[in-house]
Amino acid sequence: MDYELLCTKVIAVTRLVGNFIRKESMNFDAQQIEFKGLNDLVSYVDKTAEEHLVANLAELIPDAGFTTEEETVNSKGEVYNWIIDPLDGTTNFIHGVPTYSISIALYENDEPVLGIVYEINRGEMFYSYKGGSAYLNNKVISVSKNNKLAASLLGTGFPYYNFEQQAQYMALLSEMMRSCHGVRRIGSAAVDLAYVACGRFDAFYEYNLNAWDVAAGAFLVQQAGGRVLNFTGGTEFLESRQILATNALIDGEILAAMDRHFKA
């Protein structure tokens, strides 16, 4: 598999679908939404974008499987599997907040080999592939060199339907707010992770995320020299649905705080 060539083709597909989403945002009617669950929104834009992505990616690797947020198709490939979020940040999109993205990851035998996060309104294409560096619009990126939590900027997200750990999470947030330069909540986990990969954020953490939210962004962080863990320091962040992505220099301080607030 020529991963670099494949990545180039996937980027072209991603741009086309991004153009569709951008065009729809100009005249989107917020009444045209559906509820998958409590505060879990979806629109025809999500579904149509996913259909376009699936159709085009299926041509690139005909026998690949798909894990997709909107479940327009879900199948298991023997070797290759795409993990797709056609519109990460749907709530932002619906309310006209201009931060949302397309997230695409490719796994080969359960290992990530390609990741793309396209922040649509800024036109920022973050991407990487097995054997290559991490890039933003053709420029090599890397995680930050900051080695102190006190000098860091963090990203996070808040649960919108699973509130079982809300008290612990807010206590952790309170500690982080007092321990760093600031904590930002953008509303797209894929973008948060891309920002860790390029050094804008020193770390990002959130829980109750799905594979399609984080698979591509986590790969970008790893390819850019960072580290991706769960809240106990393990590497099973997809299975545990807890993610801590860092520049690999400040994770110790954050994990210590997580241990204080998330002890069983």
209 CB-side CA count, 13 A: 32
pLDDT in tens, 218-235: 999 999 999 999 999 999
Q: Are 13 and 57 in contact (CB under 8 A)?
A: yes
pLDDT in tens, 6-47: 999 999 999 999 999 999 999 876 666 665 554 455 678 888
State the pairing for strand pair 182-184/203-207: unpaired
Q: Are 159 and 241 in contact (CB under 8 A)?
A: no
The sheet carrying 227-229 orders its strands as: 182-184, 153-156, 203-207, 242-246, 227-229
Q: How far apart are CA 75 and CA 65, in angstroms?
A: 5
* 20 class by beta-carbon count within 10 Å (0-12 exposed, 13-18 middle, 19+ buried): middle
- CATH class, 149-262 region: alpha beta
Q: Are 50 and 67 in contact (CB under 8 A)?
A: no
Q: The pTM is what?
A: 0.94
DSSP string, the chain: --HHHHHHHHHHHHHHHHHHHHHHHTS--TTSEEEEETTEEEEHHHHHHHHHHHHHHHHHSTT-EEEETT-S--B--SSEEEEEEEEETHHHHHHT-S--EEEEEEEETTEEEEEEEEETTTTEEEEEETTS-EEETTEEE-------GGG-EEEE---SS--TTHHHHHHHHHHHHHHSSEEE--S-HHHHHHHHHTTS-SEEEEES--HHHHHHHHHHHHHTT-EEE-TTS-S-HHHHTEEEEE-SSSHHHHHHHHHHHH--
Domain coordinates in residue numbering, the chain: 3-141, 149-262
- C-alpha closest to that of 145 among 57, 224, 53, 45: 224
Pick the CATH number of 3-141 from 3.30.540.10, 3.10.580.10, 3.65.10.10, 3.40.50.2300: 3.30.540.10
Q: Are 87 and 49 in contact (CB under 8 A)?
A: yes
User: pLDDT tens digits, the chain, 264 residues: what are they?
Assistant: 999 999 999 999 999 999 999 999 998 766 666 655 544 556 788 889 999 999 999 999 999 999 998 777 778 999 999 999 999 999 899 889 999 999 999 999 999 999 999 999 999 999 999 999 999 999 999 999 999 999 999 999 987 666 777 889 999 999 999 999 999 999 999 999 999 999 999 999 999 899 999 999 999 999 999 999 999 999 999 988 899 999 999 999 999 999 999 874
